[in-house]
């Protein structure tokens, strides 16, 4: 979990064009920015905690994002094996599962992997769906009543949290991108408002590509 919410940075030519769109700044100003406005390649040291054991660590922001991108949560070096075991348990029902061909097949079936022969087509499909989704994003939040689609909890105040927070409201596709691609559903339907909902980032990540998602499976 990312603990650093804000940090102080200097406006230099490298970050000026990006940050001037968000903040009222001039070159060489020193300002405080929200962590989500930091470049994904930034080497700035941030503070975070392991989502398995809770240990607090300091590391480069880009290293944190790289660690988190693999399984959608951050874990420390000491929990590396635990992280692998947890993922295997969730996917295959056995924390010690070790069959590479079956693992790949299972991940393809679960939508974690796209069959290699379909990768280029899927990238095109995802790009179109994301473009349509982004067009509907503003309208979704404008018409939203503040209720999480999956657990019916009021999360309107969660918009005050950092956008990286696991409780922050995010747009989710009820029928996932992968499922839409697999079943040849037109992108305008997958990215359309009727297929979009708002839920917490944590639920969105855990739901992944599972259309028959059971909210009771999550420990609230």
Cα dihedral angle (123, 124, 125, 126), rounded to 10 degrees? 50
pLDDT value of residue 215: 47
Among 53-67, 72-86, 204-218, the least confident range: 204-218
Output the pLDDT for position 217.
45
Helix (H, G, I), strand (E, B) or coil at 10: strand
Helix 80-92 to helix 100-110 angle (10° resolution) is 70
**Which residues fall within 8 angstroms of residue 61, CB to CB, at 6 or more apart?**
35, 38, 40, 42, 43, 44, 45, 46
pLDDT over 70 (residue 29): yes
Of 82-96, 118-132, 134-148, 198-212, give the range with the top mean pLDDT. 134-148
Residue 48 pLDDT exceeds 60? yes
Q: Flag whether pLDDT at 201 surpasses 80.
A: yes
Give the model confidence (pLDDT) of 108-138 as tens digits: 565 555 565 566 788 888 889 999 999 999 9
* pTM, full prediction: 0.47
Query: How far is the C-alpha of 25 from the C-alpha of 31, rounded, in Å?
Result: 8
State residue 218's pLDDT score.
42
pLDDT band per the 50, 70, 90 thresholds, residue 199 = very high
The chain-wide mean pLDDT, for the chain, equals: 82
For residue 103, name the pLDDT band (cuts at 50, 70, 90).
Answer: low
What whole-number distance in Å separates Cα of residue 70 and Cα of residue 217?
Answer: 22
**In the chain, what percentage of residues exceed pLDDT 90?**
37
């Amino acid at each position: 979990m990312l603990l650093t919410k804000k940090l102080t940075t200097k406006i230099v030519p490298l970050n000026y064009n990006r940050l001037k769109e968000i903040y009222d700044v001039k070159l060489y100003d020193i300002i405080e920015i929200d962590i989500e406005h930091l470049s994904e390649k930034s080497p700035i040291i941030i503070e975070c905690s392991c989502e398995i054991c809770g240990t607090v660590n300091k590391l480069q922001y880009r290293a944190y994002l790289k660690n988190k991108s693999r399984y959608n949560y951050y874990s420390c070096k000491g929990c590396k094996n635990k992280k692998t075991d947890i993922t295997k348990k969730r996917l295959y029902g056995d924390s010690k599962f070790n069959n590479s061909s079956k693992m790949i097949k299972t991940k393809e079936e679960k939508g974690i992997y796209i069959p290699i022969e379909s990768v280029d087509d899927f990238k095109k499909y995802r790009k179109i769906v994301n473009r349509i989704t982004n067009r509907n994003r503003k309208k979704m939040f404008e018409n939203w009543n503040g209720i999480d689609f999956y657990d019916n909890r009021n999360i309107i105040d969660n918009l005050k949290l950092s956008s990286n927070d696991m409780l922050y409201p995010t747009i989710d596709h009820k029928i996932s991108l992968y499922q839409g691609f697999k079943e040849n559903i037109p992108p305008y339907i997958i990215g359309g408002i009727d297929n979009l909902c708002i839920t917490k980032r944590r639920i969105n990540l855990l739901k992944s590509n599972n259309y028959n998602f059971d909210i009771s499976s999550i420990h609230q």
